Every structure is written in C-alpha cells, then in structure tokens.
Amino acid sequence: MHWSLIIYCGMITFLTRFSMIALLKRDTFNEKTKIVLTYVPSAIFPAIIFPLVFLDNNGFIELESNSRILAAIIAIIVGYFSKNIIATIFSGLISYWILIFLIAY
C-alpha cells in the first residue's frame, strides 16, 4: 500500500461529493437518472458480498460445508424482519462463529 494510492482515492471520493455542489446548476439530473442513482448501493454492494461468501480462498465456488452461506442467510432473515443494522451484523457474525467453532461445520 502506498500513501499515494490513499491520497488518489481520497481525491476521487472528494470529487464525487464536491462536483455536483460546486460545478453544476440545479436540476442537472432528470428524474430518471435520480431514480437510477438510488440503485447504486444495490448494484455495487452485492458485487462485494457474493464473492466473499460463495468463493473459497482460491477463488473457486464453495457450496458444501460453507458456513459463510448459512451465516449470511441468517443475517438476511434478521435484517429483513428487524430492519436493524446492528442486529443484522451481530446475528451474522455470531452465527458464523457458532458454526465454525462449536459445530465445526
């Protein structure tokens, strides 16, 4: 890791926040673009989540005895019903630890 990479990432992040406030006039985006931008988290986060859950350390799909899949499903169920971020994180992590330490799944 180089400091330069961190600084470039910081500059890009800043520009995504600054550009619209500073450079553009109001109503730059039409309604449709605004709706599509609300999908950004749904479009990006699963691309991070799925490989970490379904792939093993060598990048191969691991479906059998994969405790991450079960723990993620439990977290999804808890999140769906509770709508509570902290409950979701803890249910996922704790069920993962129970699976790998106690059940050795």
Partner 1 sequence: MHIKLKIFGKGILDVSPLMIPVVPFGIIFGVIGMELGIGPYMTFGMSIIIFGGASQIVLLQLFSGGASSLVILSSVGAVNSRHLLYGAVLSENLSSLKLTWKIILSYVMVDQAFAVSNEYFKRNKKNKNKHYHLLAAGFTCWTIWQFSTFVGIALGSIIPDEFGLKFAIPITFLALLINDFKKIKNVIVMLASGLIATLGYNIIPFKAYIIVASLSALLIATFLTNMKLKNK
Give the binding site for partner 1 (CB under 8 A). Answer: 1, 3, 5-10, 12-14, 16-22, 24-26, 28-29, 32, 34-55, 59-61, 68, 71-72, 75-76, 79-80, 82-86, 88-89, 92-93, 96-97, 100
The least CB distance from residue 40 to partner 1, in Å, is 4
Distances (CA, A) of 12 to 19, 75, 86: 10, 32, 29
Picking from 24, 90, 96, 21, the residue whose alpha carbon sits closest to that of residue 66 is 96
The least CB distance from residue 57 to partner 1, in Å, is 10
How far is the C-alpha of 70 from the C-alpha of 105, rounded, in Å?
10
